[in-house]
Amino acid sequence: MARIGIIGSEGAMGHALAHVVAASGHELAGGIDRGGDPAGLADASDVLIDFSVPQALDANLHAAIGAGIPIVIGTTGLDTSHRDAIDNAARVVAVLQTGNTSLGVTLLAHLVREAAARLGPDWDIEILEMHHRRKVDAPSGTALLLGEAAAQGRGIDLAEQSERGRDGHTGARQEGAVGFASLRGGTVAGEHSVILAGEEERLTLSHSAENRSIFARGAVRAAEWMLAREAGRYTMEEVLGLQ
């Protein structure tokens, strides 16, 4: 049994995590939200799960480092400075950061990487995602995770070879680019499709999230797995034994 601390406890994911922690037989060490004390929570925990906001990431990482415990980060909307901070923290403690903690999405990313590598650059890749009306970032963290998987399979830099928000006279599609399209509406928990379009054939790899509990279950499984890890940066694929 582990003591699991939740950062972002008052959000929808925070509530889902609390239920899954209780059902899994672990102890909920506590939870904090905006204005809370991450250091105090870390001191009372064996592992932290962070589903808060990018602005809180530095303080949350410092709390994990101060307590010498692992941290699972599911917060999306991170930029380069956040990723650098995660890399620095991973020199001291075990850190797992992902755009999606779903076990199904983790396997999907693995399949996307394989498909992109084996089908080659003459197959166009488009990523379509839809989320609830209240989601504030686009493309979603999951869409970017899938885009990175496709780019790794192709051996390209996603930042340099992606197309987003096409509108008006855009010209022909950039050869080898990964395209993104984002839809928002209703209460959709998460829909993602990766379309690989070749000459006269098309392959679609998809995942549908029916409830946020799938992300909570994956995050708790990752937290369990992280308890035995040394300092370093880890992935959900490693949790599933795919790397």
Least confident of 85-99, 168-182, 190-204: 168-182
Higher local confidence (pLDDT), 61 or 189: 61
What is the reported pLDDT for 50?
98
What is the reported pLDDT for 47?
98
Which whole-number Å values give the CA distances from 184 to 40, 74, 117, 126, in the listed order? 37, 20, 30, 17
Mean pLDDT of 19-40: 95
| C-beta separation of 164 from 138 below 8 A | no
Question: Does the pLDDT of residue 243 top 80, yes or no?
Answer: no
What is the reported pLDDT for 111?
97
Q: How far is residue 74's CA from residue 97's CA, in Å, rounded to a whole number?
A: 6
pLDDT band at 165 (very low <50, low <70, confident <90, very high): confident
Name every residue whose Cβ is closer than 8 Å to that of residue 117 and which is 6 or more positions away in sequence: 153, 154
| C-beta separation of 196 from 119 below 8 A | yes
How distant is the alpha carbon of residue 85 from its chain centre? 16
CA 222, 35, 54, 137 torsion: positive or negative? positive
Which whole-number Å values give the CA distances from 175 to 156, 171, 207, in the listed order? 12, 12, 26
* 189: Cα within 13 Å, side-chain hemisphere: 15
Q: Which residues are catalytic?
A: 131, 135
Chain mean pLDDT for the chain: 95
| C-beta separation of 21 from 220 below 8 A | yes
**Model confidence over 109-152: pLDDT tens digits?**
999 999 999 998 999 999 999 999 999 889 998 999 999 999 99
